[in-house]
A and B are shown apart, each in its own frame.
Chain A
């Protein structure tokens, strides 16, 4: 049965279980879009290709499936770059399909031609230029396999127009054979035995959990493991939703804006068990002073993350579920020694409890001006446990990480590695498309909101009832904070003074706009938004002088926190 390249692409997407794609048409993808009308795959038309990729990203983060985005060549493809880099830095499974000029024109500086493979080479897990329609089915199967396995990541497929039109006999391969790609899933038994010995000998252990635990199965095993060894757990920004903050063992986030007790625990620990984390600079602070008295066990599926920044005493390469299952099994064989270890750590847990009591996360409440932290606490109070929260980037992102207590995996979607302003709104769009019946809230700043505000149109068009909370302090807040603390209050290019009527902006698109200017109005605005069908923008005029605290200054160790400005 002969099919064209466009048909083969769509058949393959269906066979891969793709139900929704995000994209924007153009000259070199017009054949695909024509063919799309014959297929039951849902397509969401965004208003910018960057938003299409962020939406596919949000969809992937919320569901665990591979997100798919389609863009045309040239400017369409270059508009996907930030979105791809965002997904790459946070290891999100995604396949991005870009149209390309016909093969004879490649390299000719043709109209809307861009070497997108070259441009995205450093920010994709892998990429393909399809030069022959006979290779297309195999390439798509490989692309999805690469995107979702091992350490996930974005894969780009550049598809020239003539290949989309050419036809061949379609047959979807059963298996993927990649001799250069064989991730290690099974943790080495000897390493695991050694880990068990190290755990049983620890007096001051800490679990350090990162984005690698995003999958819901890993989160359940992590909880079981942490409770079994009664070890306090600190998470990175990316691992936030993997461990419930309300749990007595939770230390909250560590690092530059982490809690006092998380940073002190890590600094004073004698055993640091890193699970699906990569010792990023926002977490470690001054590396020479990071966990100086601890032996480090590092469990990760990606060998390149191990010993990249920090010396590791025991590396265990493997899939988290496999390794955690084995650890739980082996520890279960030693109930007496385990009991002794837990008793031996009583003093440690008491010390940590002391830090938690004496140095909790706080802010100065006010009855006259809205504090951003208050808004975040209120949103938590009034939303369901399975609400999905996306954030943009900046102070509001950090306050969300500090004050929003997450209880379920895949409910916190935030650009951690690249820190992309403009990510939150389209990511919320993607998450809502995946879960039409769950509450999806984008917590945003006034700066970030304007980076992809055009996507309000997409929310309205598709009836995606995302609620956007703009914490408006009329500043590029995080940069302003650094300027206040380190640049003598020289606020260069950070005031965003223009008084924008966000309510009118929402209504211009056909959405609902609400505004709160006093603390007393906050709860009512949130309630009203959640009860309103369709997308809602909530503007909260917040105190511009608030700073994110604690803060570890650049170059300092994580126990050298500034606690108040």
Chain B
């Protein structure tokens, strides 16, 4: 089962490696990982998508909490949250497929950020399932290159962990 965890950590030298090392050292899986500073520049927020059963997930949360650099672990499994991801997709766009590519981009409210006579580079933002859908639709046209940012997540509602 897929789980999304946000970890608030000290923005210090070596912290990212320590967390990645924790996952690999104990055989936990990292499907995707994104990290950036928060409002408080001394605090970074990591969003990790991992896979495992409840027992594994409990161990992951506890092991993350145990690290000195970890300030807070937020496990979004089973809660109400907003999840967004961004992808840049470079898709082949020959004469006969150019229009179709643009139509798909329009349907998914994406943007074209690069144009050549043979390709479009498309920027799509949305839930990971939406990104999956766009990629599936564009695949038959010939995707030359693709990069995904990995999801970022915030809980729904008024409460927030500022920092």
Contacts and interface: CB of A to CB of B under 8 A. Distances in A.
Given A179-B71, A180-B67, A180-B71, A304 B14 contact: no
Nearest to A122: B25
Contact of A180 (B59, B62, B68): B68
A228 interface: no
Contact of B13 (A131, A181, A302): A131
B63 interface: yes
A181 B65 CA distance: 8
A478 interface: no
A122 B25 CA distance: 7
B14 A303 contact: no
A160 to B, nearest CB: 13
B66 interface: yes
B10 A180 contact: yes
Given A121-B21, A122-B21, A122-B25, A178 B68 contact: yes
Interface string B56-87: 00110011011111110000000000000000
Contacts of A126: 68
17 contacts: A117-B14, A121-B14, A121-B18, A122-B21, A126-B68, A131-B13, A146-B68, A178-B68, A179-B10, A179-B71, A180-B71, A303-B62, A303-B65, A303-B66, A304-B63, A304-B66, A308-B59
Contacts of B9: 180
Main secondary structure of the interface of B (DSSP, over half): helix
B55 interface: yes
A181 B66 CA distance: 7
B18 A302 contact: no
Interface residues of B, number: 20
A307 interface: yes
Question: A-B pairs with the 5 shortest C-beta distances?
Answer: A304-B62, A126-B68, A180-B71, A181-B68, A122-B25
A180 B69 contact: yes
A220 B70 CA distance: 35
A181 B9 CA distance: 11
B117 interface: no
A304 B67 contact: no
A267 to B, nearest CB: 23
Given A121-B17, A121-B18, A122-B25, A180 B70 contact: yes
Contacts of B65: 303
A303 B67 CA distance: 12
Contacts of A308: 59
Contacts of A307: 55, 58
A304 B55 CA distance: 11
A129 B71 contact: no
Contacts of A303: 62, 65-66
Interface of A: 117-118, 121-122, 125-127, 129, 131, 146, 178-181, 302-304, 307-308
Contact of A129 (B10, B13, B25, B67): B13
B62 A125 contact: no
Nearest to A125: B68
B68 A304 contact: no
A90 B65 CA distance: 20
Interface in B19-63: 21, 25, 55, 58-59, 62-63
Nearest to B25: A122
A304 B59 contact: yes
B43 to A, nearest CB: 9
B44 to A, nearest CB: 12
Contacts of A302: 66
Contacts of A178: 68
Contacts of A125: 68
B17 A118 contact: yes
Nearest to A131: B13
Nearest to A303: B62
B18 to A, nearest CB: 6
Nearest to B72: A180
B158 to A, nearest CB: 24
Contacts of B62: 303-304
Contacts of A181: 68
B72 to A, nearest CB: 8
A121 B17 CA distance: 9
Contacts of A180: 9-10, 67-71
B41 to A, nearest CB: 15
B162 to A, nearest CB: 14
Interface string B102-119: 000000000000000000
A181 B10 CA distance: 11
A39 B62 CA distance: 42
B80 to A, nearest CB: 26
Given A121-B17, A125-B68, 8 more contacts: A121-B18, A121-B21, A122-B25, A146-B68, A179-B71, A302-B66, A304-B62, A307-B55
A181 B64 CA distance: 11
A131 B13 CA distance: 10
Nearest to A311: B55
Contacts of B58: 307
A304 B62 CA distance: 5
Among A117, A121, A181, A304, max chain B CB count under 10 A is at: A304
Contacts of B14: 117, 121, 127, 129
Contacts of B67: 180
Nearest to B14: A117
A131 B9 CA distance: 20
Nearest to A306: B62
A179 B65 CA distance: 11
